[in-house]
Structure 1
Amino acid sequence: MTFEHIGLQVPRILLPKRGTDMRYWSVIACDQYTSDRSYWQRLEQQTAGKLSTLNLIFPEVNLEDDDAPQRIEKINHTMEAYLADGSLEEQQPGFILIDRSTSEVPSRKGLMVALDLEQYDYTPGSKSLIRTTEGTIVDRLPPRIKVRENAPIELPHIMVLIDDPQQTVIEPLFNETLETVYDFELLENGGHIRGLRVDQPALIEQVVTALTRLKDRGRFQERYQTTDDEAMLYAMGDGNHSFATAKAIWEQLKQQTDDPQTVMNHPARYALVELVNLHDAGLEFEPIHRVLFDVSEEQLLNAMKNWYQQHNLDFEFIACENLQQAEELSRADDTEHSFPCIIGGFFGLCRIRQPHLTLVVGTLQEFLDDFLKQTPSARIDYIHGSKSVTALGSVSDAAGFYLPAINKHDLFRTIVHDGALPRKTFSMGEADEKRFYLECRKISVS
């Protein structure tokens, strides 16, 4: 069942066979804890010998390891085995309604659907129905493409946002009597998750009607004060590069086919995602901080001062006794961008006056991009949670930058008017609140 006018397909979801211990089946998104191998080692120990999505994913902490090709081959073989031996069972077409509690929020609601990659374009300035919220780094796609290109199934950590202030799409489904398909505790402080089956034709039509109203051109133009004719209905929340990878694979399939008509019905045209309402009380935007490794305090501060001066910006570094003092000195106004930092274990505040960009993260990231290009020995990681920044930035050859959160209610309007934000601008919750792998879907025809 497809509804092209809203880029939606009702998926046939794969779930583990009855009797599977779901606690060990479901693990966190592969792009979390990228500097913490111990987290992933614990998962390996906990899930050893069990049906688990850990056997179907490639944690990014291991992307640079020498055995990457062997890992990918093993992942694909395991996917095929899970399909062949009945470990995964295909459900009737339908959505899955999700209620997730975490250590931070009592409830965050979502809906598993499939979205049409034909209606997604991550190039700058795109006016597609599904739009990216951050710059897509094309160089980050090849390793992800290698994982997906021969995979018979997909399992997403992608979360896509809709702007539904009246709560017409997802929330009304919780008033219905629905079958519970899973209900369990997630590993490693992940909270609790419950899934409900939505396969009744009337409820599917209810969702389609509500999404159609959200897409209405008049509503779109009035809500975002724009004259654009091409409406944006969906905005990427988490998993931007995973969705872009699915798009790249789909484009490859179209180029390689001898039958342009038939390929449009290929399952890889769609990608399984969790829809989340921007106005869900359980959805919180958290900042994504930056940590640099293999840098010296003198080298970094001199580079910052010189770079901002070259770009006609007044840069100042103020030494502070602790993070609290740096946060108190930080000013949130339009005449300057300020952000606390920890360099080699010492706290401070970076202040840039008269910035030419809207967001603090953009003012910092412009410098970091150039610094990393000029300093190949340095490397960067994107960190959720200020405590982790402090811990990682406390060693002599590291530096951490603490960034502010953006207002989630400004997101759609900003994307409509300004296009994609700088990469890694915001996070939907803390690391432990990220989507856990759970539902799967076939993406091959064999």
Structure 2
Amino acid sequence: MNKNDMGKIFRPADILVPANCDMSKWSVIACDQFSSQPGYWDDLDRYVGDAPSTLRLMLPEAYLKQRDPFAEAKTINATMRRYLDGGVFRTLPQSYVYLERTQPDGKVRRGIMVALDLEAYDYAAGSASPIRATEGTVEERLPPRVRVRRDAPLEMPHIMVLMDDKRNGVLGSLDAKKSALPPVYDFDLNCGGGHLRGWQIGGSDAAALEREMDAYTQEIRERYEGTAPAMFAIGDGNHSLAAAKNCWEEIKKAGLPPERLEGHPARFSLVELVNIHDDAIGFEPIHKVLFGTDAEAFIDAARAFWAERSRSSGAGHTLRLVAGRREERVAVNGLTIGQLIGAAEEFSQGYIAAHGGQVDYIHNDDTALEMAGRSGGAATLLPRMEKDELFPSIIRSGPFPKKSFSIGHAEDKRYYLECRRIQES
């Protein structure tokens, strides 16, 4: 994809939204949240009941060990077809959606729903594509997602894509004109997720947005002249987008003629595009929490591990080591934030290999501390990454280690709402 095609990395789409649904029951948080708290999902299931809901179009990761993913995929795809045939949706033809998410803390995060061309995206560690992964892809997490998407008539994204738009030209242009745009939704999200409003962008407004996108990509090329810059980075939903890419590559191998591949709906993935410099965007660390392990030896082993890796010079970071009621803080010098996160994963995996147990990745400080205080629990709480480090780091050294950071707290995560057909009619 050459630079003259950059404006087409994102395109409008025939976006499906509910026609006459209870939006607070329709829209639910992403499947990879609260993965160690099935109670959250049990309560949500009772709240939704028999109402049409995106809860019925996905499998929460909290249930992966309790349910058969093959059987769940068939049920999910059947429900998608039933919703399509039953008039649950209305179509916003060839549109973008500008949205504002009021988070529980009162901050407003702005975004745009766009169709991302998967030809412009590559999650490989050495990628030089315009759109890149921010974190390493865990291959074993892909099959359940691929299995659902492969035969699914619909997609519904929780993917968030970051742009490094320091002048705020793209989203700022929409904020100024939203009062003149057709409203799409305006409602409270369930389970303390805040409030969501959306407006349709089409026609001349869509063309103006695309001109702003072209200006942004030109600015990035100039900023990182002499390199193959990352124009955009996956802020959330790395594995869901990787699954979409895998499904698209499968279709390409099927021998379809070029004209069908050019506009095939599975070539694109619906995502929310946000600006890393938005005041509501904040990176939260993802902590390493161990369950069912020897918590008594954890802190001493961790202190020895980090003493070997800390250097005498260079920037420092502070880690919190927690096991039961015991907590210590350890200073680690001379490592980048990416190296620090990678070393924390190395220690966690090595510790459970020697002492038993399992590791989970927890976003919220209080939740991690509560889990680490349980019998057989321990945790390494990591520091927050500064968001200005993200794009230069990706360009210089590729994706961060897996499960490195989160955009906001768990309750701030993107909720499923908009859908799009991904099968040929």
> Aligned partner of 1:223: which letter?
R
After superposition, the CA RMSD in angstroms is: 2.2
Which residue of structure 2 lines up, in the alignment, with residue 192 of structure 1? Answer: 195
How many equivalent pairs are there?
A: 419
Per-residue deviation at 1:352? 4.1
3-state SS in 2 of match to 1:256: coil
Which residue of structure 1 lines up, in the alignment, with residue 28 of structure 2? Answer: 27
- 1:295 pairs, out of 293, 296, 301, with 293
The CA distance in 2 between the partners of 1:280 and 1:105, in whole Å, is 14
8 Å contact kept, 1:357–1:363: no
- 1:412 pairs, out of 391, 405, 408, with 391
Instruction: Say which is worse superposed, 333-342 or 354-363, in terms of deviation.
Output: 354-363
The CA distance in 1 between the partners of 2:240 and 2:277, in whole Å, is 24
Decide whether aligned partners of structure 1 residues 65 and 411 sit closer, same or farther in structure 2, where only a CA change above 3 A counts.
same
Per-residue deviation at 1:415? 1.1
The CA distance in 2 between the partners of 1:270 and 1:431, in whole Å, is 27
> Aligned partner of 2:167: which letter?
Q
8 Å contact kept, 1:355–1:363: no
Per-residue deviation at 1:375? 4.7
> Aligned partner of 1:90: which letter?
T
8 Å contact kept, 1:58–1:147: no
3-state SS in 2 of match to 1:208: helix
Decide whether aligned partners of structure 1 residues 4 and 269 sit closer, same or farther in structure 2, where only a CA change above 3 A counts.
farther
8 Å contact kept, 1:96–1:198: yes
TM-score for both structures, normalised by structure 1: 0.88
TM-score for both structures, normalised by structure 2: 0.93
Per-residue deviation at 1:350? 3.5
Which residue of structure 1 lines up, in the alignment, with residue 322 of structure 2? Answer: 342
Which residue of structure 1 lines up, in the alignment, with residue 341 of structure 2? Answer: 361
The CA distance in 1 between the partners of 2:217 and 2:315, in whole Å, is 37
3-state SS in 2 of match to 1:34: coil
8 Å contact kept, 2:287–2:361: yes
Per-residue deviation at 1:56? 0.5
Instruction: Say which is worse superposed, 345-354 or 34-43, in terms of deviation.
Output: 345-354
Which residue of structure 1 lines up, in the alignment, with residue 212 of structure 2? Answer: 210
> Which structure 2 residue ranges, 5 or more long, are not aligned?
none
Which residue of structure 2 lines up, in the alignment, with residue 323 of structure 1? Answer: none
8 Å contact kept, 2:14–2:420: yes
Which residue of structure 2 lines up, in the alignment, with residue 109 of structure 1? Answer: 110
3-state SS in 2 of match to 1:169: helix
3-state SS in 2 of match to 1:125: coil
The CA distance in 2 between the partners of 1:94 and 1:271, in whole Å, is 14
Which residue of structure 1 lines up, in the alignment, with residue 172 of structure 2? Answer: 171
Per-residue deviation at 1:153? 0.2
The CA distance in 2 between the partners of 1:282 and 1:356, in whole Å, is 25
Which residue of structure 2 lines up, in the alignment, with residue 155 of structure 1? Answer: 156
1:227 is aligned to 2:230: no
The CA deviation string for residues 360-384 of structure 1, in whole angstroms up to 9 with x for no partner, is 3233123224445x35942111111
1:378 is aligned to 2:353: no
Decide whether aligned partners of structure 1 residues 389 and 396 sit closer, same or farther in structure 2, where only a CA change above 3 A counts.
same
> Aligned partner of 1:362: which letter?
G
- Pairing of 1:239-258 with structure 2 (within 5 A): 239-258=237-256
Which residue of structure 2 lines up, in the alignment, with residue 13 of structure 1? Answer: 15
> Aligned partner of 2:73: which letter?
I
> Which structure 1 residue ranges, 5 or more long, are not aligned?
316-332
The CA distance in 2 between the partners of 1:382 and 1:439, in whole Å, is 27
Decide whether aligned partners of structure 1 residues 263 and 340 sit closer, same or farther in structure 2, where only a CA change above 3 A counts.
same
